[in-house]
Amino acid sequence: MPLLERATTTEVAADILREMILSAELRGGEPLRQDLLAKRLGISRTPLREALNRLATEGLVRMDPHRGAVVSRPSADELREIYEVRLVLETEAARRAAKRCTPEDLADLRAILEAQKASEDPAFFARSNAEFHDRLSAIAAQRTLAELVTGLRNRSEVYIRLLAGMPSSLDRARGEHEAIVEALESGNERAVLRAVTDHLRSTVQSVSALIEVSGEDGRERG
């Protein structure tokens, strides 16, 4: 298979498997039988293996020495670790964004919020949440910082899908996004930092509670 064609096949396979994991079609702890998956997706084992390795770097798959590739289970410890780093990076991005935000930037963020309010679909919220945070970090105009934020936000998506399944937490997240935009509109850097910090900490609190109640924490099942 030519290199370019294989790379494209790998990307498509990774996209399909990522959505299957995030939508819980493939559940935490489930072994990923490469022979069956390759047949199901209609691809060879090589691009499938590369797709699984890519998902492993995103934290969605783990490579078990005895069981092979396995869907990762949500972990409250991992959630807190990811968000501790996100807090550092995204408050820095917010600080820079507060100084650079233009009316056009605010209009873009407002459009994302309006779309969020118009849909009750959890999968749509997860996508628009990603768009909101990526747009916010882009305003800071620091490419490396934005890339780091996006990478961690990708690692967070499995947890955002959990949050999006809880109507009360979903409404709270929308309100917190609104508070961030209002703080940016005010031009008050301290208010922007507080709004971003409150939002990230609230997400950790809500999703941690859900993981513990549902028994989905990987620590509990090994």
* Residue 174: CB atoms within 10 Å: 17
Query: Which of 71, 105, 125 is where one domain is finished?
Result: 71
Last residue of one domain, picked from the residues 71, 88, 111: 71
Task: Please tell me the distance from the alpha carbon of residue 150 to that of residue 87, in angstroms, as a whole number.
Answer: 13
Copy the structure tokens of residue 118: 């118009």
Of the pLDDT bands very low, low, confident and very high (cuts 50, 70, 90), residue 215 is low
* Total structural domains within the chain: 2
Question: In this structure, are 172 and 97 located in the same domain?
Answer: yes
* Same domain assignment for residues 51 and 128: no
Of the residues 41, 71, 101, the one at which a domain ends = 71
Q: Are residues 64 and 90 in the same domain?
A: no
Do 189 and 128 share a domain, yes or no? Answer: yes
Per DSSP, 75 falls in state -
CATH number of the domain enclosing 27: 1.10.10.10
Using CA atoms, how far apart are residues 222 and 32, in angstroms rounded to an integer? 17
Asked whether residue 40 falls in the same domain as residue 141, the answer is no
Residue 194 belongs to domain spanning? 76-218
Cβ neighbors of 160 (< 8 A, separation 6 or more) are 125, 126, 129, 130, 203
Round to whole Å and give the CA distance between 156 and 150.
10
Domain co-membership, 49 together with 117: no
pLDDT band per the 50, 70, 90 thresholds, residue 220: very low
| 3-class SS of residue 77 | helix
pLDDT surpassing 90 at residue 8: no
Q: What is the CATH number of the domain that holds 199?
A: 1.20.120.530
If asked whether residues 155 and 113 sit together in one domain, one would say yes
Same domain, 65 and 80: no
Model confidence at 216, pLDDT cuts 50, 70, 90, reads low
At 163-207, the pLDDT tens digits run: 888 888 888 999 999 999 999 999 999 999 999 999 999 999 999
Can you point out the beta strands (E) in the chain? 61-64, 68-71
| Residue for token pair 């819980």 | 24
Distance, in Å, from the CA atom of 204 to the CA atom of 213, rounded to the nearest integer, reads: 14
38 & 90 share domain:
no
